[in-house]
Structure formats: C-alpha cells, structure tokens
C-alpha cells in the first residue's frame, strides 16, 4: 500500500500535533528527519507514465490546493433580484427561501431560483479586481441548497455564475453551506482539508466565507450580514479539469444509490427512461451515458464474478480502500448510499469514489449532548455501517480485504488522530469563533457556548473512538434487513435476511411483534429461531398497525439488530419496522 501523501505533508501533521500552533499546516517547512518512516511509495502510473490506461489511479493534481489559506475569510456580496418568467427566475428571495427540498426522509426536487449580482470583496465591500466588482446587472442565479437543512431557519445557498460572469477560483458553481446541524461550524472544512494530502483519492477546495445579502425583491438598499458559511467546491466537469482529472469522463452524485439495479436506473436513450425516477437515485454531472455504470451494477450483482476482480479491475482498489478507511476513521457514517460521487475517465474501465459532505463527521458526542443517540442503530459504525450495500458486503466478506482495510485505517491513523485533529480544530476555531458566537449565527446555533466548547474539545477523542469502533466491528455480528411481512392463508409471515458472523458461529433469531414501537407488551415474542422466517396466525394479530423487530444472536452472546429504522411521532426507532395487518 502506498504512503499517505508525500512525506513532507505527513511530517507537517506531526509538527502540528506536537506544537498545536495556529499556522496553516500545508505551508510550514519541515525538516527531513521529522518524516514518519513509512515504506517508500510504489511507482504510481499517471496519465503521462502509464502504458495501460486501466493502471492509472486517482491521479489528482495536488498543487490545486497550494494557494489556499485555511485561516482566511472570503467576503461574498449577493444582491438578489427578480428574473423573468421565461427562465423561471421570476421569484422573490422569500420564495427562494421557502423551497423545501426534503420531505419524508428523502430528497424533493423543489428548486426555486432568483437572479443575483454576485460580488467578492473584503470586510469593507466589493473590491476592484475581484469577481463582479463592476457588475450592475445580475450575473448569476441563487437557490437554496441541501436536503434536510433546507427546512432550517438559516439556509445554505447555491450560486450559479453565468458564463459571462467569469469564474471564481476556477469555479462557476459556488456552494455556500451554513452547516446548521454542526455546533462547531468547522467540521466540513476539517474533513476535506485533512484529506488533501492523502494519496489515491481527491478532496475539495474549501473556504470560510462571510455572506452579505441585499434583497432588492423586498426593497432593501443595504447589505445584511448573513453570518458565517463554508464554501465547498462542487464536483463538476470544471472540478475534474481543475484537479487534473478527465473532464470528458463520467461523473455521478449519489442521491440514494446502493449499487443495485432498480426501475429508475436506465440509460438516457432507453424508451422507458424516466428522468425523475433516475434523479431519485443519481444525478449525472458528466457524460450523458449510463451504460457503463449499469454494467458495473450488473457485475456486482453477479455472484459468479469474484469481488476482487470487480474491486481491482473495475473499481480502483486503492481509491476504494482509502475512501472506506477515511470515512470510517472520521466517523462519517452517512456515506452508505449518498454523500459521494462516482467518477470514471472516459476511456478507462475503472471507477473512483470522490467524497462529498463531511459536516456530520465525528458526531457522536454532539448527538449525545443533543439527546439524539437513541436515533442511531447499533450497526452505524465501522464495517457494520456499510453492510447493507451489496458492493461493500461482498468485499468485506473476504478476510484478506478486511485485513487490507485495517492496514489502510492504521496507515491513515498515523497522521489523522486525536492529536492532529484537535490541533487543527483549535486552529480553525480561531477563525470561526468570533462569528459563530455572534449574531446572526449565535441565535440559531442550537447549543450553548459551553456545549459548543465541549463538542469542539472532544473532536480528537471522537477520532480515537471511531478507530476503536472499527476494530470492534471486525468481531461483531453483522446486521441484516427485515422484509415486508407476507399476509396469506390466515397467517402473517415475517421474513428477514441472514445475519453474518466473521467467526462462522451458529446464529439464532428472536422475533417480537407489538402494538407499540417500544415493545412494552409484545403480542409475539419467540426466541431461538434457526430460520429466517416465522408465521404468526392472523388471529394473534388483529387488523391494524403492528411493529416488529428481529435480533440475531450467537452462542457467545454477540447480537445484531436489523438495519430497518422507522420514525413515529418524531421519534426514530432503529431496528424496528411496521406492518398494516388487514385481517
């Protein structure tokens, strides 16, 4: 396995941890003797040196980050204006902010646009020589971005620059994220900045931003301070070109993609193709041709094809291991079916993962403070978190692959650990604290200043917790899914998947069915089942709503819940599902 970036960058992490000084870690000089002694990197094929295109790994040009200053603030000034009905931008800023893009735990295509003048400057206003300084007419559109965050009082925004407006840092698609679920307001930048020097994977450029908005649709004549945001580079064709990747290649954003076939996953030229159905699964950001991805999905489904042929010949193995290991080590659990991009160069057969959205990393302590811990299932950590996705499950069933993943986690942990994360978080807090703890952000923070201090101080401990949880998960019983019960012939038949034990011990199951999701008075409670189905007479379950759960157990006392999860009266119940018995 290759090094985690070049040795100078590795040494800088060590220096940062030891000194805990507030200087940008990728700009400090480092003495050669400070380098961690790791194996010399293997010769890596690049587009310039590789004789076979399929031997070229994630050949990101890391110099893209060299001019960034992590301790700086960029000031955006946005004047919102009504557009025209023909371009569907004839909306007020109030209408833009009213767009809800998340309902019933899923993304909703509900974008409302207005026009905007986008300008960049400093604390005193737009500055000559910067984007949009001389603009008197709109040069962009603005809309709300994010899913669940779109229902929060403070919004995140997407600014889409017109072609004539030029580019800002090589970008025309500018995402300004409020991160209202993150008390620290620095997790997303931390997540992507720690990833920058890591080999075999690409990161995103990020920037702390102060946003000022003048809403001319409401008659405003001065700019209003909207507080602190984090700008995160959006993977697009321009992103691929800027990072030294193939801008003519394939690029998808995962919306809810589990690497399995579904009715919505068809090619664009298929007469049955449904754009709305497709975009509930993926958003195509590159070449408009889904056949290559469909072929990959069919390969994963074919159990006669060795998974190490798929993850090797068709999914880049180093990139895949790094993506898994990094998200596991950073506790970024919401990465099973979303929060990643898939990229493939046009003429290569290989696919690569690009991370997206890290504001939920290292989150357990904050969830505990906010009383959210019970909303998470016991499987949402380590390798168990990925068990519900066929690709990951097939890969992780191989003991050699688990060993390779552990080696990659260990390698990353040498430089991404409690000390380095704590030091970098402290450095970034020096930038964001004055704004997070002042208006308007302090009003909507959702935590006291003391709670935020505790959460911030605990980020390093969360890395070490994630590291321990990963190793614990290698000895845990893997979770499973419960299917929709079948009702026929006077019975209700409950069916579920097999649980999986890396140690190959016998597994038995316990089924409980009750009228309430807390199972206070179960109508069915049967244990010691050695099959994955159980029939209950309909007379025992009268018509109505019933809740059910299955727990798997091994002889040595290890247990695993189902991966199903429901919400009842705003309370989540992990491991539980419901059925409407018709009688």
pTM of the predicted protein model: 0.90
**What pLDDT is stored for residue 106 in this prediction?**
59
Average pLDDT over residues 213-227: 98
Look at residue 39 and tell me if it is in a domain.
no
Average pLDDT over residues 409-429: 97
Look at residue 94 and tell me if it is in a domain.
no
Look at residue 443 and tell me if it is in a domain.
no
Place of tokens 């409690």: 418
Look at residue 576 and tell me if it is in a domain.
yes
CA distance 75 to 226: 11
Look at residue 577 and tell me if it is in a domain.
yes
35-87 residue pLDDT tens: 333 334 445 687 878 789 999 999 899 999 998 998 899 999 999 999 998 89
Look at residue 495 and tell me if it is in a domain.
yes
140-160 residue pLDDT tens: 999 999 867 777 889 999 999
Place of tokens 């229902």: 151
350-361 residue pLDDT tens: 999 999 999 999
Please tell me what DSSP assigns to residue 316. Answer: -
Look at residue 52 and tell me if it is in a domain.
no
CA distance 232 to 339: 13
**What pLDDT is stored for residue 51 in this prediction?**
80
93-144 residue pLDDT tens: 999 999 886 655 555 667 899 999 999 999 999 999 999 999 999 999 999 9
Q: Does an H or E element contain 24, and which? A: none
The tally of domains found in the chain comes to 1
Q: Does an H or E element contain 184, and which? A: none
User: Domain range holding 568?
Assistant: 477-581
**What pLDDT is stored for residue 101 in this prediction?**
62
**What pLDDT is stored for residue 38 in this prediction?**
33
438-468 residue pLDDT tens: 999 999 999 999 999 999 999 999 999 999 9
Question: Coil, helix or strand for 522?
Answer: coil
CA distance 354 to 290: 18
State the CATH number of the domain containing residue 542.
2.60.40.10
**What pLDDT is stored for residue 2 in this prediction?**
43
Nearest to 415 by CA among 23, 22, 43, 26: 26
Average pLDDT over residues 209-224: 98
pLDDT of residue 18 exceeding 50, the answer is no
Look at residue 511 and tell me if it is in a domain.
yes
pLDDT of residue 16 exceeding 90, the answer is no
Residue 169, number of CB atoms within 10 A of its CB = 16
Collect all residues with Cβ–Cβ distance below 8 Å to 148 and sequence separation of at least 6.
102, 181
């Amino acid at each position: 396995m290759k090094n985690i970036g070049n040795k100078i960058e590795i040494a800088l992490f060590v220096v940062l941890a030891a000194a805990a000084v507030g200087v940008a870690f990728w700009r400090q000089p480092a003495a050669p003797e400070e380098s961690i002694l790791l194996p010399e990197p293997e010769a890596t094929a690049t587009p310039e040196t590789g004789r076979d295109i399929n031997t070229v790994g994630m050949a990101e040009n890391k110099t893209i980050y060299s001019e960034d200053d992590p301790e700086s603030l960029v000031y955006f000034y946005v004047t919102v204006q009504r557009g025209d009905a023909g371009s569907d931008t004839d909306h007020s800023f109030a209408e833009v902010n009213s767009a809800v893009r998340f309902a019933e735990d899923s993304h909703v295509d509900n974008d409302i646009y207005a026009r905007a003048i986008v300008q960049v400057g400093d604390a005193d206003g737009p500055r000559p020589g910067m984007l949009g300084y001389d603009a008197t007419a709109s040069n962009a559109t603005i809309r709300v971005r994010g899913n669940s965050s779109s229902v929060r009082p403070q919004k995140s925004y997407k600014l889409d620059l017109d072609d004539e407006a030029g580019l800002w840092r090589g970008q025309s698609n500018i995402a300004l994220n409020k991160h209202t679920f993150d008390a620290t307001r620095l997790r997303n930048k931390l997540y992507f900045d720690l990833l920058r020097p890591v080999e075999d994977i690409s990161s995103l450029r990020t920037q702390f931003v102060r946003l000022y908005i003048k809403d001319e649709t409401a008659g405003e004549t001065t700019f209003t301070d909207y507080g602190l945001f984090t700008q995160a580079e959006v993977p697009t064709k321009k992103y691929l070109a800027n990072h030294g990747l193939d801008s003519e290649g394939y690029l998808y954003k995962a919306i809810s993609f589990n690497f399995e076939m579904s009715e919505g996953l068809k090619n664009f030229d298929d007469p049955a193709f449904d754009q709305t159905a497709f975009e509930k699964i993926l958003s195509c950001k590159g070449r408009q041709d889904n056949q290559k991805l469909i072929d990959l999905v069919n390969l994963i489904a074919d159990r006669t094809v060795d998974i190490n042929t798929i993850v090797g010949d068709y999914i880049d193995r180093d990139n895949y291991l790094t993506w898994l290991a990094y998200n596991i080590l950073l506790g970024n659990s919401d990465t099973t079916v979303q929060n990643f991009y898939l990229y493939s160069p046009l003429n290569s057969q290989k696919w690569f993962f690009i991370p997206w959205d890290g504001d939920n990393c290292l989150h357990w302590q904050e969830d505990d403070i906010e009383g959210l811990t019970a909303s998470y299932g016991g499987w949402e950590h380590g390798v168990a978190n990925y068990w519900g996705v066929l690709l990951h499950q097939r890969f992780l069933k191989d003991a050699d692959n688990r060993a390779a993943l552990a080696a990659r986690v260990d390698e990353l942990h040498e430089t991404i650990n409690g000390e380095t994360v704590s030091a970098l978080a402290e450095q970034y807090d020096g930038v964001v604290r004055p704004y997070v703890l002042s208006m308007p952000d302090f009003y909507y923070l959702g935590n006291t200043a003391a709670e935020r201090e505790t959460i911030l101080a605990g980020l390093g401990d969360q890395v070490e917790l994630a590291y321990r949880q990963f190793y614990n998960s290698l000895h845990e019983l893997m979770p499973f899914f419960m299917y929709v019960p079948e009702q026929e012939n006077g019975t209700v038949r409950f069916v579920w998947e097999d649980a999986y034990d890396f140690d190959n011990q016998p597994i038995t199951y316990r089924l409980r069915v009750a009228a309430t999701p807390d199972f206070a008075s179960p109508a069915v409670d049967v244990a010691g089942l050695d099959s994955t189905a159980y029939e209950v007479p309909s007379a025992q379950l009268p018509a109505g709503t019933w809740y059910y759960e299955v727990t798997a157990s091994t002889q040595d006392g290890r247990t695993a819940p189902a991966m199903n999860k429901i919400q009842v009266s705003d309370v989540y119940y992990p491991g539980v599902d419901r059925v409407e018995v018709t009688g």
